Amino acid sequence: MSEKLAPEKRHSFLHNGEEVFEWDQTLEEVNIYINLPPNVHSKQFYCKIQSKHVEVGIKGNPPYLNHDLFCPVKTDSSFWTIEDDIMHITLQKRDKGQTWSSPILGQGQLDPYSTDLEQKRLMLQRFQEENPGFDFSQAQFTGSCPDPRTFMGGIRSD
C-alpha cells in the first residue's frame, strides 16, 4: 500500500530554461536524477556527497553541480549510481519526515502550493508506515497539513 503514496512525478530543477535535474522525495530520502551527456564513459563521472553539500561532474572539468543542500543528509547511507545514462543520487535525510522544497539551498524552490502537496503526501506516507494495516492512499487533508516530522510527538525511531 505504501507504493500508492510514492511520489507521482518528479520535480524539474531548471536553470535558464534548461533542465539541470529532476528530483523527488520520500519520508527518508531525496532522489536526484541527472541525464548524463552522451559519449562520456561512466567512470569519468564523480559525485561527492557531504552532510550539507553535493558536487557532481566529469573528472578534469569544472563541476556540473556544486551546491549546498536544502537540509543535512546522512553521508554514510547516501549514495549514487549510474544506469541507462542517468545518474541517480540518493540522499538520506538526516531528519526523517522533513519536507524539502528543493534539494539545493536557495534555488529552485517549489511554490507554496506544491510544497504543501508534498507535505500532505509525506504525512500520509508517515501514517501508512505507522499503521500498515490501513490504506491511506485515498485520504485527504482539508486546510493546512501538520509537519510530518513533528506531528504528535514526531516520527518514531526504528
All three cell numbers of 17: 530554461
pLDDT category, 158, cuts 50, 70, 90? low
pLDDT at 3: 60
Angle, alpha carbons 57-13-140 (nearest 5°):
135
* C-beta separation of 2 from 128 below 8 A: yes
Q: What pairs with residue 45 in β-bridges? A: 58
Could you give phi then psi for residue 122, rounded to 5 degrees? Answer: -65, -35
* Cα–Cα distances in angstroms (integers) from residue 125 to residues 2, 6, 14, 144, in the given order: 7, 8, 27, 16
Alpha-carbon distance of 27 to 30, in angstroms, equals 8
Domain residue extents for the chain: 10-108
pLDDT category, 1, cuts 50, 70, 90? very low
* CATH class, 10-108 region: mainly beta
* C-beta separation of 67 from 107 below 8 A: yes
All three cell numbers of 142: 482539508
Measuring CA to CA, which residue among 37, 30, 25 is closest to residue 87? Answer: 37
pLDDT in tens, 102-138: 999 988 899 988 888 888 888 888 888 888 888 888 8
Lowest-confidence segment of 21-30, 76-85, 134-143 by average pLDDT: 134-143
| Other beta carbons less than 10 A from residue 123's beta carbon | 23
